[in-house]
Structures are given as structure tokens and as C-alpha cells.
Amino acid sequence: MTKRELWFWLSGIPGIGAMTARALLKEYGSLEELWKLKTEIVEESGLMNLRQKNAFLYSREKDAIKRRFDEMTRLRIEMVTCEEDIYPSRLKILYDAPIVIYYKGKLPDEDTPTISMVGARDCSGYGREVALHFAASFADAGIQVISGLARGIDGFSHQGALEANGRTFGVLGCGVDQCYPRQNLDLYLEMMEKGGVLSEMIPQTKPLPANFPMRNRIIAALGDAILVVEAREESGSLITVDQGLELGKDIYAIPGRIMDPLSAGCHHLIRNGAILAQSPADVLAGFEHYEQLTLPLSGGKLVLDSKEEKVYACLDLVPKNTQFIVNETDLTPQEVMECLDRLEFRGQVREASRGYYMKAGLF
């Protein structure tokens, strides 16, 4: 057994997390000794419970481990252990830092400013626009975007960064050979080219609910700051924020409308001292100590004809039905459709869902 294979073995024992693994290594000296540990000693160990002990004993099958290790290499899944130099230094501040990180693509750059973006899975059209816009601005400014590759805000954050040709990394709650949720398959594949996906779970781990809080601490640790785009009052995103606070990260939150339950979590954070992020510049201000930061240009001025002006004036970041615009203006349905078509073609308006339109990309 090589050293890497031993790390692979230790990280893959079901029920033994980073904490237990580190405690075992400390108690029994080294990986090799842990591998050769006598059954009686394992049974008497106070560091593991009965299930963990059984899993530990059962896992020491040389052939099976070698087979899975080779399979991983064949799938071009990279692995970095906490002993190696390329292990992300940002993770070292975690008291339960992962002993091994598996990844496809690249690892986040150590010296580049990095932000973690989190938010609701069932986000609103507003959240979608904000996530796309902020992520794209960060990418333009040379900031790496970290998120969880989930539905909703996570996906749009990655997408925004990719569309601006930025680097973005997804932290998974399953093995990096799995794509969860399936809808994000195209994102998952694109990120492997232009960034990376990483996980502390051994390949083939299923996306179990218990894995996600563990994933969140990695997201919190990897970013220099955390931006919450949209979150309900009792959102999982707030767990990431708590973990980030323990690590001393800056927390930014994007405000919403006061009656919008999807922004209640963000408002709660702002009330408790998170920094209000009204535009990407508010966040970029916190990254001033990075020298290579390039600040984005502000958008050009809109030129609209009178009908387009009327239509555009009816829209905001909450999707509006075509009929609503017809009722608000004195235009016919046909005129409204033509205006929307032109505005949409120029990227000033977006069809949020069929027949519903909202302003796009301008702040």
C-alpha cells in the first residue's frame, strides 16, 4: 500500500469523518500504523463508537481499496491530501479540515481573491438576475467564485461567472464523479473546463442530506468573504454564514423587498451586522487589499424610443405578465410584444418564465 492509497482508504471509511480520522492519527502515530492496528486495540479504542469500529475493521481490504483507487485514477479524479503542498491553505483554518480533497478540473488559486456565493435553491427571478450580475462582475474583477452547484442561486452564480469567462468552483455534497442535481449537468461539465468541482467525499458517495452541512463549511472556508444572495428566514445558507463567522469571514447580504420571504434571511443578516451589498462595488471594496483587482466599467446609458420607454418603465425585477404591461400602458398587445422583443434582443429585458418579463442585467 502506498501512502496515497492509505489516505484514500482512511478518507473512505463510512462514518469516520475528518475529526475522528485526525484523532486516530494523533493517537496511533501514523497512517501505516493505523493500517496495521491490531483488531483488539481497535475494539478497545475510545475514539470510535461501535459502528465506526466495525466500519474500520471491515474497510481494511487491500484489493478492494487498490481497485477503487485505480478506478479513480482512470476517471481522472485528482486527489490531494492534507500533507501535500497544493492542499488549499484556506482550508487549514478549519479545526476539522478535510484530510483529503478530491477534485476534477483545477483547485481554487491560492493568491487570487475568492468569494463564496450562497442562497436559496428555489430563488426568485430577482435572485437569479442578482446572482448572474454579481457573479459576472466578480469574474470581471478577477475574483474566483465558489458555490455549491445546487439549483437556484448556486447554479446562477456559477453561470454568471462562466458567462463572464471567470473561474468558478463548485463544492459538492457527493463524490465528484456524481452530478447532483441532474439539471446542472451542462454547468458541471463546463466548470471542469474553466474551473473545478471538488469534494471531501470519496468518489461514488451519494448526495445524502447529511453531507451538505459538511460541504457548507468548505464553501465558507474557501471564500475570503461570503455573499448571501437570497435566503429565507430558516435557510440552509444561514448555516454557511454561521460557519463563515466562526472563521472570521466578511459576510455580505443582498437586500430585497421587505415583504419578500425569500429576502427575509438576508435582512436578518444585515440587521445583525452583515454588510449591505447594493452593488458589486460594495463587495469589491472589501477586496481592496488585493492588488490585481480590476474594477469593472459602469454600464452604458440606455437609448429607448417612446414606446419602449413606456414598456420598460412598467418593468422591474419582479416578473410582469404581458397583460400587465398592456394594462399599464395604452399600447396594444401587438405593440407591447414588439417592444418586448426588441428590448429582449438587446438584453435589456429577460423572459423570466413564459409570458412574464423583467429587467435584465442593469443596475
Partner 1 sequence: MYNKVQSAVLHGMEVHLVEVQADISEGLPVFDMVGLPGSEVKESRERVRTALRNSGFRIPPKRITVNLSPADLKKEGTAFDLPIAAAILRGITNIPDAFENGIIIGEVGLDGSVIPVRGAISIAKHAQALGYCRILCAKENAEECRNTAKLSCIGVSSLKEMAAYLQEGTLPPQESCITEETMPSLPDFSDLAGLEVAKRAAEIAVAGRHHFLMVGPPGAGKTMIAKRMMSIFPALNDEERNLQAELLSIMGLPALSPDRPFRSPDASVTAAAFLGGGQKMLPGEMVLANDGILFLDELPSYPSRILDLLRIPMEEGKVILTRKNGAYEFPADFMFVGAMNPCPCGFYPDMQRCKCTPDQRIRYRRRVDGPLLDRIDLYLSLQPMDYEGISGGRGCGENSETIRGRVTQAWERQQNRYEKEKFHFNARMPAEKIPVYCALGRTEQSLMERYYKRYRLSARAYHKVLKVARTIADLDGSDQIRSAHLTEAIHLRCDDPEAEGRLKR
Query: Which residues of the chain form contacts with partner 1 (CB under 8 A)?
Result: 121-125, 128, 151-152, 155-156, 159, 183-184, 187, 259-262, 319-324, 326-327, 332-334, 336-338, 340-341, 345, 351-356
- Our CB check for partner 1 shows the closer of 78 and 335 to be 335
* Least CB distance to partner 1 at residue 324 (A): 6
- Our CB check for partner 1 shows the closer of 108 and 256 to be 256
Inter-CA distances, 357 with 180, 295, 338, 351, Å:
29, 30, 13, 4
* Least CB distance to partner 1 at residue 193 (A): 18
Q: Specify whether the CB–CB gap between 76 and 104 falls below 8 A.
A: yes
Please name the residue ranges forming H helices in the chain: 3-11, 18-28, 31-36, 39-44, 50-59, 62-74, 125-140, 153-163, 185-194, 211-222, 237-246, 264-271, 280-284, 306-314, 322-328, 333-345
Query: Could you give the CA distance from residue 305 to residue 334 in angstroms, rounded to a whole number?
Result: 16
* Least CB distance to partner 1 at residue 37 (A): 45
Q: Residue 346 has which C-alpha cell?
A: 438587446
* Least CB distance to partner 1 at residue 291 (A): 35
Residue 68 C-beta-side C-alpha neighbours within 13 Å: 23
Query: Beta partners for 146?
Result: 116, 169
Tally of helices (H runs) and strands (E runs) in the chain: 16, 12
Q: What is the DSSP letter of 261?
A: G
Q: Specify whether the CB–CB gap between 212 and 236 falls below 8 A.
A: yes
* Least CB distance to partner 1 at residue 128 (A): 8
Contacts of 126 (CB under 8 A, 6+ apart): 230, 256, 260, 262, 317, 318, 358
- Our CB check for partner 1 shows the closer of 83 and 341 to be 341
- Our CB check for partner 1 shows the closer of 97 and 317 to be 317
- Our CB check for partner 1 shows the closer of 29 and 361 to be 361
- Our CB check for partner 1 shows the closer of 298 and 345 to be 345
- Our CB check for partner 1 shows the closer of 88 and 125 to be 125
* Least CB distance to partner 1 at residue 182 (A): 10
Q: Is 288 exposed, middle or buried (0-12, 13-18, 19+ CB in 10 A)?
A: exposed
- Our CB check for partner 1 shows the closer of 294 and 332 to be 332
* Least CB distance to partner 1 at residue 354 (A): 5
* Least CB distance to partner 1 at residue 261 (A): 7
Query: Count of residues for the chain?
Result: 363
